């Protein structure tokens, strides 16, 4: 975030961290993205990631299966699959007092789903954070996105639009295509079909050099395995990547950035001697 990217893509950013440090990282991501007006996409299995989200998108079977805006905790957008099937998130059913059976009935311009059995009363939820006000326009637009690897279809007709300035958490079971989606957004991979529009650019139409320049100038990418140089120190690694983005020097940004994640005391330590969790924080 030191170079103030327009878009942050993070793939399981707390995968190797304990709960305490994970909470620190989530809080930091939330603070930095909102302070800088950055659009952020965070892929995570961790339920704690929802604490910083303005919007939660659920992916299943290569498609968006449900969406939830944190500003409206009792309302979720549900994707209607082929054949008219609805996947209603379990959390929404729980809050609505619906157990194993439900009844659907027509109302004016709507379909109401009601429980047909008594369920235990749920504990009241803590209030959810109010999202930062988005700017106009669309930061990311996916149009009928398809990604195949051999005979396997990873993403199947996925469409979505994400407004600027929001922090979106993408969840879903393993193999649902979350990491593949991030790679497509970053231009690290290309779709088999469909369009990927990021910050006004058709990423899928750029050549390899164009995609690399786009990542360098406008994105920040946090991968599951940090691309660190093991024989360099923590500070040297940060300075290296800052230098790639700003050849004129970083003017102490490396030390300031390390202080944000509590690693200033390890600045001169070789990366190879850090724990996996500490490497994640670098």
Give residue 31's Cα distance to chain centre. Answer: 15
CB atoms within 10 A of CB 56: 20
- CA gap 13, 52 in Å, rounded: 13
The model's confidence at residue 159, banded by pLDDT at 50, 70 and 90, is: confident
- CA gap 92, 69 in Å, rounded: 12
Best-predicted range by mean pLDDT among 73-82, 100-109, 123-132? 100-109
Question: Does residue 249 carry a pLDDT above 70?
Answer: no
Give percent above pLDDT 70 in the chain: 77
Q: How do strand 110-115 and strand 76-78 relate by DSSP bridges? A: unpaired
What CATH architecture is 7-93?
3-Layer(aba) Sandwich (3.40)
- CA gap 236, 63 in Å, rounded: 41
Question: Does residue 71 carry a pLDDT above 50?
Answer: no
Q: What is the pLDDT of residue 269?
A: 83
Question: Does residue 268 carry a pLDDT above 60?
Answer: yes
Q: What is the pLDDT of residue 166?
A: 87
Question: Quick check: 194 and 146 in contact, CB under 8 A?
Answer: yes
CB atoms within 10 A of CB 67: 16
Question: Quick check: 178 and 169 in contact, CB under 8 A?
Answer: no
- CA gap 217, 126 in Å, rounded: 39
Same fold flag, 7-93 and 140-218: yes
Question: Does residue 210 carry a pLDDT above 80?
Answer: yes
- CA gap 222, 88 in Å, rounded: 31
Q: What is the pLDDT of residue 109?
A: 73
Q: Which residue has the higher pLDDT, 180 or 2?
A: 180
The model's confidence at residue 68, banded by pLDDT at 50, 70 and 90, is: confident
Q: Which helix (H) or strand (E) is 243 found in, with range? A: helix 234-245
Question: Quick check: 168 and 109 in contact, CB under 8 A?
Answer: no
Q: Helix crossing, 234-245 with 208-218: angle to 10°?
A: 110
Closest CA to 70 of 125, 136, 109, 14: 125
Look at residue 131 and give its three-state secondary structure: coil
- CA gap 62, 144 in Å, rounded: 11
Question: Quick check: 34 and 40 in contact, CB under 8 A?
Answer: no
Closest CA to 62 of 185, 195, 175: 175
* Phi, psi for 226 (deg, rounded to 5): -60, 130
What CATH architecture is 140-218?
3-Layer(aba) Sandwich (3.40)
Q: Which residue has the higher pLDDT, 178 or 24?
A: 178
pTM score over 0.85: no
What is the overall mean pLDDT for the chain? 78
Q: What is the pLDDT of residue 131?
A: 39
Q: Does the CA dihedral 3-138-199-54 come out positive or negative?
A: positive
pLDDT for 126-149, tens place per residue?
A: 444 443 333 457 899 999 999 998
- Count how many Cα atoms sit within 13 Å of the Cα of residue 162 in the half-sphere of its side chain: 31
Q: What is the pLDDT of residue 108?
A: 75
Q: What is the pLDDT of residue 132?
A: 38
DSSP string across 139-204: SEEEEEEEEEETTEEEEEEEEEEE-TT-EEEEE--TTSSHHHHHHHHHTSS--SEEEEEETTEEGG
- Span 176-201, average pLDDT: 92
Q: Which residue has the higher pLDDT, 193 or 75?
A: 193
Question: Does residue 121 carry a pLDDT above 70?
Answer: no
Q: Where are the domains of the chain?
A: 7-93, 94-121, 140-218, 234-280
Question: Does residue 77 carry a pLDDT above 70?
Answer: no
Give residue 160's Cα distance to chain centre. Answer: 13
- Span 186-203, average pLDDT: 93
Q: Which residue has the higher pLDDT, 184 or 35?
A: 184
Q: Which residue has the higher pLDDT, 185 or 119?
A: 185
């Amino acid at each position: 975030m030191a170079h103030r990217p327009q878009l942050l893509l993070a793939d399981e950013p707390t995968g190797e961290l304990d709960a305490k440090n994970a909470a620190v990282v989530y809080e930091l991501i939330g603070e930095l993205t909102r302070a800088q007006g950055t659009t952020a996409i965070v892929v995570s299995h961790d339920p704690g990631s929802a604490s910083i989200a303005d919007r939660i998108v659920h992916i299943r079977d290569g498609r968006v299966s449900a969406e939830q805006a944190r500003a409206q905790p009792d309302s979720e957008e549900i994707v209607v699959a082929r054949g008219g099937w609805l996947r209603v998130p379990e959390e929404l059913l729980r809050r609505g007092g619906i157990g194993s059976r439900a009844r659907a009935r027509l109302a004016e311009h709507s379909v109401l789903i009601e429980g047909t059995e008594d369920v235990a009363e749920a504990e009241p939820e803590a209030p959810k954070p109010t999202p930062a006000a988005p700017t106009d326009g669309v930061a990311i637009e996916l149009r009928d996105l398809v990604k195949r690897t051999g005979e396997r279809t990873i993403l199947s007709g996925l469409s979505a639009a994400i407004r600027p300035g929001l922090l979106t958490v993408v969840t879903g079971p393993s193999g649902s295509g979350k990491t593949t989606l991030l790679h497509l957004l970053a231009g690290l991979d290309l779709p088999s079909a469909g369009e990927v529009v990021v910050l006004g650019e058709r990423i899928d139409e750029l050549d390899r050099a164009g995609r690399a320049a786009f990542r360098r100038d406008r994105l920040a990418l946090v991968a599951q395995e940090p691309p660190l140089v093991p024989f360099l120190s923590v500070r040297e690694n940060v300075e290296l990547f800052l230098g790639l983005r700003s050849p004129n020097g970083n003017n102490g940004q490396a030390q300031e950035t390390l202080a944000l994640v509590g690693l200033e005391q390890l600045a001169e330590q070789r990366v190879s001697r850090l724990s996996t969790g500490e490497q994640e924080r670098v």
